[in-house]
Structure 1
Amino acid sequence: MINLVILGSTGSIGTQTLEVARENREEINILAISCNRNIEKLYSQIKEFTPKYAVVYSKTKYLELKNTVKLTKMSTEILHGMEGLNYISKISDADTVVSSLVGNIGLVPTVTAIKEGKRIALANKEVLVTSGELIMKLAEEYNSEIIPVDSEHSAIFQCLRGNNKKSIDKIILTASGGPFNKFTKNEIIDLKANKALKHPNWSMGKKISIDSATLMNKGLEVIEAKWLFDVELNQIDVVVHPESIVHSLVQYKDSSVIAQMGLPDMKLPIQYALFYPNRMKNDYPRLNLAEISKLTFEKPDLVKFPCLNLAFESLRIGGTMTTVLNAANEVLVDLYLKDKIKFYDIPLFIESVLEKHKPILNPTIDDILGVDKEIRKKVFNEVLKNIRK
C-alpha cells in the first residue's frame, strides 16, 4: 500500500494523480492533499478520498473550508499555509510525496519531505531549477528517492534503467514546439495568452502551457536534467518533435540511442513514479505506430523562442542565475495571462534582469528564497513602470 501526500492536488498533475489513485484504490491510500485557493475542488476531493489532512494556502479560503468541513462533520483536519504544507510533507505515515505545486512555493515543503526520507514524485520544475544542486545533495544525504514525473525526465529515467550513467553521451529532450511552432515571429508578436493556452497535444495547467509556448518549459527541463542525471550542459540537447510520441532519448557512448515512447498522457509517468520499479497494468490507450505513420524532428528556432537560450545561458553561469530566470519568468507569465504584457516581453524582461544580476555561487536555501523574492518585486515594478510610459 502506498501512503500518499499530494502537494497541489487541484492542479493538472494533482488531479491526474488522483485519477491514478482512483484506478488503483487497493494500492494507494490518500493521506493528505492541498490547494492554493480552489476549495471547491479540494472539498470534492476530500469527500471522495477522505484524507487525514487537507491544506489551503490562502488564509481566507482556509477559514471558509474549515467552517464547511466543521459543519458537515467530516474527519479531515484542515491546515493552513506554508506551515500546513510542511506538516503534511513530513507526516510519519506517508512514504511518498507528490510535489506538484506550481512555482518556487514548492521548494520548502519538498525539502522538508526529503529530510524525512520520503520518496519524492517530482513534478515541480522550479524545485530543481532554483535549487538543483542542493536538492540532489540533500536527497543523497537523507536517502530520499527522487522519481521524476515530467514526461521527458520520466522517459530519460526509464531509458537509463539497466545502463551505467557513465556511458551517457547525450540526453536528448523532446519538445512539442507548443501551439506557435509553425507561426512566424511576426504572427506571434500580438497573440494573446488565450491562444497560447491551446496546446496541440497535452492537457496542462495555464502556467506550464505558456511556458510550452515560449519554450521556457524546455529550458527549465534542461536545468532539471542537468541535476537529476548528473550530466554536463554540453551533454544535453533539445529537439522539436511535434507528435509528442517520443518523450525523450538517451544516446550512449557506443552510438546506441534508446527512446521511451507512448501516447501523450501524463497519467503514465505519474503511475510509473508512484509504483517504481514495478509496472502496473492499466487500460490506457496503446500506441499504434502504424496509425501514427510518421514521426518528425527538427531543431528548435532560437530566434522565435529565445527563452530556451536564456535557460542554457543561466545554467552555464550557475549559482542564483537560474533562480532569477525562474522568478522573472513566473511573474511575467502571470502578467501575460492577464494580458498586461505581450508574448515577447517575457524573454525581453528576463534577459534584462539576468544581465543586471550578480550571481551568488553555491547559494543556501535562504539565499535562493531571498533572491527569488527580490527578483519578483524588481520585475513586477519594472513592467509596471514600462506600462505607465
Structure 2
Amino acid sequence: MTKKRIGIVGSTGSIGRQALDVIRLNRELFDISFLCANSSEELLKEQAAEFGVDAVCLAAGGAQSLVKLIREQELDLVLVAAVGAAGIVPAWETVNRGIDLALANKESIVAAGRIILDRAKETGASVIPVDSEHSAIHQCLMGQRIEDVQKVILTASGGAFRNTPNDALGHVGVSEALNHPNWSMGSKITVDSATMMNKGLELIEARFLFDIDPSILDVVIHPQSIIHSAVQFIDGSTLAQLGWPDMRTPISFAMGLPSRLECGVKPLDLFEVGRLDFRKPDYDKYRCLALALEVLKKDNNGPMIVMNAANEIAVEQFLLGNVSYLGIAEVIEETLSIFDTGDFSTLEEVFETDKKARETARYSVKRMNG
C-alpha cells in the first residue's frame, strides 16, 4: 500500500481517537497532514506532539482555519469525523478539491448529500463511508451491479432501550440513554441510537451514498450487532458483512482502501457469538425512526435538513436536561410540521434552512418548558 497523506477532522472525538489507534499500528502507511478538533485543545496538542503534526486547528471559533488546511495541505484522504452539521463544510471542501473523503459524519449526507456526491463525481473524489452499516453495504456491493440489488437491509442494535417497555420510556434519563449495550460512541450518536434516529439518518445516507431507491431500503433490529448490514440480490442471494461491534474495523477499511489493515480487532469467533437474533422495529417505541421514514419517502432534502437540525437541537437539550427523552421526537415532529420545504441545490440554501430549523426547534423546547 502506498503511503497516504491524511487529514483528520474531529481527531479528539471517538472516531478520531480510534483512527489514530489504527495509525499507531500502521505508522509506515500514513503521514498525518493535519489534525482538527472542535474545542479539546489540550488533547489536540498531545496528539500533534505524538504524531509530529505541525498543522492543527480548533473549529469552535469557525471553519475558516479548517477550510484553509483542506485547501492548502498535501492530502490523499480526509477523514471527516466531526459531529452534526459541522461536517458539511469539510466534506464539501474535500470533494471540491478532488480529494478522497472517508466520511464518518452522516448528517452532511442527510442535509447535503446530492450536492456533495454530485461534486465528488465531477472532481473524481471517492466518498468512502465509515459508519459500520454503510461500510458493510459498500463491501457487499463491491463488484456487483446495482440493478441486481433487490433489497438493502440496515441492521440496528435497538439502542439502550430495546428491552424497555414502551410505557416506561417517559421516565428514562440521560445516563440510561447513554448506556449503549454494544458500542462505545460519542454522546450524540448514542442518544440517536436509543431513539433509532441514527438508523433513520443512515437510511437517508444509504439512499444517497449508493443511489438506492428508498423503496428497497429496510431496517431490522439485530441485538448482537454482529451483522452490520446485508444486501439481497435478485437471484435469491444475500451478502452480509460480519464482525465484532468495533468501529476500528470500518475506520481502517475506509483509511486503507483498497488494502485491508491490521487494526487491533480480533477475528470473529462464531462459536463465541453462538446465536444471531432479528426482529422488526416497533415504530411506537421508535417514533424518531418513523419520522425519518416519512421524510425519506418524500425524497427531498428540505425535510431532511429540517429533521436533522431539529434532532441535533432536541438531543442537545435532552443531554442538558431541558427536554425529556420522549420530548426529542416531539420537538422534531413539531419543527417538521412548521416547514414546507422542497429540494435545495446550493450549500447556502442548506445552511439557511438548517439555521431556521434550529431556531424553530429551540422555540419548541422553550414552549414545552412553559
Task: Establish whether TM, by shorter chain, passes 0.5.
Answer: yes
- Which residue of 1 is the match for residue 329 of structure 2? 347
SS in 2 for 1:189: helix
Question: What amino acid sits opposite 1:38 in the alignment?
Answer: S
1:92 Cα deviation from its structure 2 partner: 4.2
- The CA distance in 2 between the partners of 1:288 and 1:112, in whole Å, is 41
1:252 Cα deviation from its structure 2 partner: 0.5
1:283 Cα deviation from its structure 2 partner: 4.2
- Which residue of 1 is the match for residue 365 of structure 2? 383
Question: What amino acid sits opposite 1:50 in the alignment?
Answer: G
Q: Which stretch shows the higher mean deviation, 40-49 or 213-222?
A: 40-49
1:27 Cα deviation from its structure 2 partner: 0.4
Cα contact 1:320–1:363 (8 A) shared by 2: no
Deviations, residues 124-173 of structure 1 (Å, cap 9, x unaligned): 11110001111111110111100000000000000011211111111000
Unaligned runs of 5+ in 2: none
- The CA distance in 1 between the partners of 2:45 and 2:261, in whole Å, is 29
Q: Which stretch shows the higher mean deviation, 202-211 or 126-135?
A: 126-135
Instruction: Say whether 1:107 aligns with 2:98.
Output: no
1:384 Cα deviation from its structure 2 partner: 1.2
> Structure 2 residue aligned with 1:321, among 297, 303, 327?
303
Q: TM-score, normalised by structure 1?
A: 0.92
- The CA distance in 2 between the partners of 1:48 and 1:134, in whole Å, is 36
Deviations, residues 47-97 of structure 1 (Å, cap 9, x unaligned): 1012131111234xxxxxxxxxxxxxxxxxxxxx31111112223411100
Question: What amino acid sits opposite 1:373 in the alignment?
Answer: K
SS in 2 for 1:231: coil
> Structure 2 residue aligned with 1:39, among 38, 41, 48?
41
- Which residue of 2 is the match for residue 62 of structure 1? none
Please report the RMSD computed on the Cα atoms of aligned residues, expressed in angstroms. Answer: 1.1
- The CA distance in 2 between the partners of 1:58 and 1:343, in whole Å, is 27
Deviations, residues 23-67 of structure 1 (Å, cap 9, x unaligned): 1100011111111111121111111012131111234xxxxxxxx
SS in 1 for 2:231: strand
Aligned ranges 1:1-389 → 2 under 5 Å: 1-59=3-61, 81-317=62-298, 318-387=300-369, 389=370
SS in 1 for 2:353: helix
Question: What amino acid sits opposite 2:252 in the alignment?
Answer: Q
Unaligned runs of 5+ in 1: 60-80
Taking only the aligned residue pairs, the percentage that are identical comes to 41
Does the C-alpha gap of structure 1 residues 57 and 293 become closer, same or farther in structure 2, counting only changes over 3 Å? same
SS in 2 for 1:298: coil
Cα contact 2:21–2:263 (8 A) shared by 1: no
User: How many equivalent residue pairs?
Assistant: 367
